Amino acid sequence: MQRLLLTLRYDGTRYHGWQVQKNAVTVQQTLQDAVERVTGVRSGITGCSRTDAGVHADMFCCTTDTESPLRGDDMISALNANLPRDIAVYDCREVPNTFHPRYSAVRKRYLYRIWNDRARNPFWENHAVHITRPLDADMLNQAAAGFVGRHDFVSFCAAGSSVEDTVRNVLHCGVAREGGLVTFSVEADGFLYNMVRIMAGTLLEIAAGKRPCDSIPEIIAARSRDAAGATAPAKGLILSRVYYNDVK
């Protein structure tokens, strides 16, 4: 039995997130169906994260254990022939049986995208939140710097989460503009449930003048979900990269 690490991209618009659900179509279930058609066995698949409904991924890593002789490009081609157009595997490699796509990850990077223009853009309709009022990306970049460091991010965790350890180390955080597209990027050693969407929602409230630019440290110190902003819509979020020490 060999453990394969599969790396894929997906548009999450028509999926109810990654994880299998009884009465909804998910990315994990769709990939399991493809693996079963290729190998003849319905194998378990373990993912690096649990993305919500409507969230996208440019680099999502998952593992499956298989006795199939298919490897590398042959497995990639076979899986893609059995996957819908909005999911694509682009890397397949053998990893040790001790490798875990979630717990072996040392950090992840997420992007949150905002289309900032008076007119909506059909190309970004399902992949960015449309905000018509002008956003000051430089000011938001200054505000986002308050997230950097090792903090208790419980204020930026969805209410009702069962996670006990809410301390995370944010290694990079910033906001940049390219034309009409404003992108919030954040890289950390781990993320809490809805953490990036709450961070983005808080920045949007700062942009709207509802909070001061330097309010992030105070919100972190409050250690209360009520202190932070609203959860931004899922469609603007994309898992951009997953980092492993022993996998390039």
CATH architecture of 107-242: 2-Layer Sandwich (3.30)
Residue 35: in which H helix or E strand, if any?
A: helix 27-39
The pLDDT assigned to 126 comes to 95
Q: Where are the domains of the chain?
A: 2-95, 107-242
The pLDDT assigned to 91 comes to 97
The pLDDT assigned to 241 comes to 97
The pLDDT assigned to 50 comes to 86
**pLDDT per residue rounded down to tens, the chain (248 residues):** 899 999 999 999 999 999 998 889 999 999 999 999 999 999 999 999 988 899 999 999 999 999 999 989 999 999 999 999 999 999 999 999 999 999 999 999 999 999 999 999 999 999 999 999 999 999 999 999 999 999 999 999 998 777 889 999 999 999 999 999 999 999 999 999 999 999 999 999 999 999 999 999 999 999 999 999 999 999 999 999 999 987 65
Q: Which residues are catalytic?
A: 52
CATH architecture of 2-95: 2-Layer Sandwich (3.30)
- CATH topology match: 2-95 vs 107-242: yes
User: Rounded to an integer, what distance in angstroms lies between the CA atom of residue 239 and that of residue 237?
Assistant: 7
pTM as predicted: 0.94
Provide the β-strand partners of residue 88.
9
Q: Which residues contact 209 (CB under 8 A, 6 or more apart)?
A: none
How do beta strands 237-244 and 56-66 pair? parallel
147 contacts 199 by C-beta, under 8 angstroms: yes
The pLDDT assigned to 160 comes to 76
The pLDDT assigned to 248 comes to 59
Alpha carbon of residue 132 to chain centroid: 25
> Is the C-alpha dihedral spanning 166, 235, 21, 86 positive or negative?
negative
The pLDDT assigned to 246 comes to 76
